[in-house]
Structure 1
Amino acid sequence: MDMTVGMVFLLWSMNVFINAVVLGKSSCSGAAAVCGSVTIPYPFGIEPGCYIDDSFAIDCNNTLGSLRPFLRRLDLEVLDISLEGTLRVNYPMSSLCPKSGTEITPSVSLASSPFVFSKLRNIFVAMGCGNVAYLLSTDVSNSSLISIYGLIGGCMSVCEKGTIRSNGSSCNGINCCKTTIPSDLDVFTTIIRSMRGASFERTEDCKYAFLVDQKWFEENLTSHFEVQQMSHVPVVLNWQINANLSSLIMGSKSSHSTCQFANRSSSLGNMSSTFTCSCNSGFKGNPYLVDGCQDIDECANLEACSFYDLQYPCVNVLGGYYCDPVSDPKSRNKIIIIGISTGITGLLFLFIGGWWSYKVVKKRKNIKRKEKFFKRNGGLLLQQQLSSSEVAVEKNTKLFNSKDLEKATDNFNVNRILGQGGQGTVYKGMLIDGKIVAVKKSKVIDEGKLEEFVNEVVILSQINHRNVVKLLGCCLETEVPLLVYEFISNGTLSQYLYDQNEEFPATWNMRLRIATEVAGALFYLHSAASTPIFHRDIKTTNILLDDKYRAKVADFGTSRSIAVDQTHLTTVVQGTFGYLDPEYFQSSQYTEKSDVYSFGVVLVELLTGEKVISSTRTKECRSLATYLIHSMEENNLFDIIDARVMKDAKQEEIIAVANLAKMCLNLNRKERPTMKEVANQLEAIQTLHLKTPNVQQNYEEIEYVRTEMHEQWDDVSTSTMSSADGGIASSSGSRPLLSF
């Protein structure tokens, strides 16, 4: 039994296929059939075998004395058919006439057919006084089901005396309203109701609701009386062929056509695959037939080759055409002129294109150049170190753009130079937001020194202290690396000491405060920072003063961070002569006590106002550190103290600071105090200075001090100074400040 059914299905399929192939040879593939005034093209047809499927079968009936085509399965009169996938049919209207009490709601379901109502071409219209019309997505016409089945459209028209619409007016809600319909609509029901409380309702008027071709409605229907005489109005349907029939088309369609497939949903929620075909550009005709798409003769249009006042011969080719000006001798001169102007225009475009290409290539080269500099300047190493979980980096450290920094420094103008050092040149700049910054441009360096630059960035990114210069960011996409710092306005401590400032003289109070701030910053670096840091180049030129003359430790180019359990670093000796720890110089082992030694030299500078190295001093005392120790051993301390300090400071303060400096300069690093001890001692001295106003000393008192110096070293101790409220309190294990 199953075999018999299979054979029957196979024979039926072969017959359908043979019929489709025969279309290419029979009269069906020639001129389309005609019924009355309507042309019936394939895949529609009248005779058996001349349509692709029963859904496209047309019956040509004699109705009211003339031949009219009807869709066989839907019994809808066909008004015209377009191979672009549309056809117009006469579709019944719904009406409600209160006088007769009848409501007519005819509906033709397109479900399970290749047709749907066109959303783009149709509108839903309700006409009549006080009319409320509903459009339901169902073929059930029972009005009680409105609440069950979802509304898909509807509108309401209010009353106005006279005709429904006058010529030229719009359907705007007075006696007439309209709305759109949803896509893929294949079945619907219309329900008409009278509006409650309508002021001008005329009960004798009928009310109408219908789907209609929008273009026909706007161009033809102008009067209510016309509607009363109608039972059907034109409606546009979209049609597509089921994909299951594609084999019947693909073997017999035109070679100059293209078919497109799509998915379509039905009212039942089912999806089906469909397709439509169209002639290619330059062709026209029926794409569903062999050789159905014929070449368009574009040359039939006299303006096809008309340019300005020239008319060139037109040559038609398959699927297109071209203009042949050479064969027209009358136009040669004009052609030459046009050719020359076109050539000039072409050269202009070529020039513009070449310039644009040059800019693009230059931009790409610049990007690659910046990438090359970024790698060469240690960008990858910096990223690696900053991303390390062991490094706590400030979130506001920024990567600056090279153009922004060039603009900020006026292309690194020499007039913007703030200072120069061993690591590079510092420029004053102003960012786009108006912020003043200091931009450090490193010297041209080899890859062996890149680690120093990267090291400075990493270290400064970890530091957050009021007496340490803040790093704002860096730029690595330039030939040499750039660092961006906060701008410190009052220069270096060296300038402050040796270039006398009459407006803000270097008083003892200022010097003592600066020393205390620097000591606190170094204590923070050694002990309080997340990773202990050795500065390795403490000197007065690396101590900056801000607008309030507060100290800011700067220049971390040779600094090193160490593990918590490390005690020293073994490095190539680096630093500034006169500040270098002698033990570091001999052993190449740098410890936190090496920074203490350098700070001791700074203390001596603050006391004496003398430079670190001076050829005017004796040979054995050219070093300022040696000069202090020698003077103290010879009981001549006050001979080398700066006159301003002698004027402002008390003897005990000078002796205490000198003794602290001597302890820092001890040749045995183990005997030196820590920066914590130094900071505590200086804070105590500063507190004593502020709480005990200085009585002006005269030079006779100073001479007395000189002669009795040795006795004073023996008599004065830290404990006596600590007896004053807030006096000096040495930390446990530290030596008295006033003993040698």
Structure 2
Amino acid sequence: MGGYRLHLQVTWVGVLILSEMATSAVAAAHESALPSCLDHCGEVQIPYPFGTSDDCSLNKDFLINCTQSSTGRDQPQIDGIVVPKISMEGQLELSLKLSKKCYNESGMLSSFWRSRLLITTSTFTISNTENMFMAVGCDTYAYLHGKQYNGNFSMGCMSICQNQSNVLNGTCSGIGCCKVEIPKKVSNFSLQASSFRNHTEVWSFNPCSYAFIVKKGQFNFSSDNLSNIEDNNRTLPMVLDWTIGNERCKYAQLKSDYLCGGNSTCDDPENGYGYRCQCKKGYDGNPYLPLGCKDVNECLNPNLNNCTSPKRCINTEGNYTCSCPKWHSGDGRKDGESCTLNLGLVNKTAIASGVGFVVLLVSSTWMYLIIKQRKLIRLRERFFRQNGGVILRQQLSRQNSVETTKIFSAEELKKATNNYHENLIIGEGGFGIVYKGFLSDNRVVAIKKSKLVDKSQIEQFINEVLLLSQINHRNVVKLLGCCLETEVPLLVYEFISRGTLFEHIHHKDRSLRISWEARLKIAAETAEALSYLHCAASPPIIHRDVKSSNILLDDNYTAKVSDFGASRLIPLDQIEVFTLMQGTLGYLDPEYMQTSQLTEKSDVYSFGVILIELLTGEKALSFDRPEEERSLAMHFLSAIKEDRLFEVLEQNLGTKRNEKQLKEVANLARRCIKLKGEDRPTMKEVAAELEGLRKIDKHSWVSVGSNSEEREYLLGETSGSYTYDVAIKSSVVYDSMKDHTMVAFDGGR
């Protein structure tokens, strides 16, 4: 009878617990949305700040259209795109159609679709950790356009193959399929798929170009995708990160519309412009509702508490405690002091044990710090050896370059950049981050921290450091040294203060200040630097990424060629090198793109584009112009052919006064961008011709010295000095495929 009564009691307690858990679950479900608002659309939960009407959502960005699908089920949509899942952790999954461009057998466009998200705010950003940008096709290049840091952003992906048999299933390395990681904070995006030759050469097995963003692991490429990737308007899953507003927690918490409710905290996500809310530890629910975060009763679930005895678990607001039986003391937890019999005796042994424990703790901490410091020293020594530091030090000593080129310690550069503080970032691109640094001798330097390291190329890296350290040309940015005590070697350059040629040409408030004489001077100095690299350096150096954003201007507006991250050394017995394609669209040599044969004439082509920029004031590649004018080089050649040169020149160049010089430079630019490299002049010839044009100028003050009045007149300045303290950072603003993009085409990308 007693056993039967005990069974009834246990059963009744279980019923009460299950009932309370069910009640809590129901309450949590009802509290995910605002009162009187739908919390589901079909099978998808719609938590606030999302809602199915204006009154139920925070604003129009979070408005969900609950529409009946063709199957009769309710289906949530945003901006006309199906939303299969909304996460309170700040993510939203979409089913997005593929962007495509298809052609018939004769190369005529047969169908076209461009995928886009029309929301124009920064509430939603593409998740850089969950997605990949991909393109499929054997005659395909694709773009992702959007907004980033309140400016336009573009990136691209290129896929080429000659026949279907060359395509490898399951790989996406640029042959039939290419994929690119997506950077942080890209919003308001659209996708565009295009073709180089309208698929005429591959039409039999690949009539279309496709572009899409897809959640990682959700698309496995195969050769069959070249002909039938699109099946009944196929969609692919992608993930967006969402935030509240466009201010970080520090400022949002001061506003009256701050959204995080009680028992919640505010977080600044890495990918996004606003903030997110989350319930504090020990609470659960919707943190965006005023009272959405409810206390979690850890005592109802043994997995949520670690009491030695579950029946002694006591729930508290946001936490729980564990009690001990009578005559026992402790915290009652499995991982704590547990419960021990309390005799109430404090003797000398206990005191001695306590003192001994403190001494042991201090000693252990001291030993730990010493061991940690020694490990750090050994780690830096290992990196130094791996990065070729011993060999480089010996070579510098033999070449007597120790004084001019220094091997910095990791501590020196860490101190110079205030532990690589984000406020000292002056440039960021695909290859790494550039910091402004202040050395102990008060020199201001630029410190380049690469993102990638190829251990098989350490010997070549050492050779390039040795070579660049000995380049002493007034128009080449000086390499001051390097640091090899980190996993990725750091390079230290002289700091150039006046910004890039790109920003001086293309920023409207600056371009009017640069006269034609100044532009001709900058062009001649740049050509002289490239000629030096091609002819005087031993072995010769091909820059491979000549563009206006890699030409810096110092305090006297002297041109300085920079960024040798993509450069290649040419053996003395060779005139060309086969390399993976790399460069910047708009400046890239078309012959190099076709053959992958890198020659010094590739730099000549890129320099020709810079000459055209100086003449026209237009960007090398811009999608804001009509399609036939997007490539500045092609547009310029067309204007010359149609005798419209002076229609495309910038207005402030003194056309009448400088007519002869303008025609000569335009003709030189035309010769530099000829399709065949053998038809182009050498950089030595280009430099000589530009210097000759400067010398025959009737004005004797063309060469700019330190005299401020001459400099102001040459640059068209009529007021005080014009200081731009951050040289490299400004160019990064335009580091996109739409406006001056750096694209690494390794592996066909």
Using the size of structure 2 for normalisation, the TM-score is 0.44
State TM-score, norm by structure 1.
Answer: 0.45
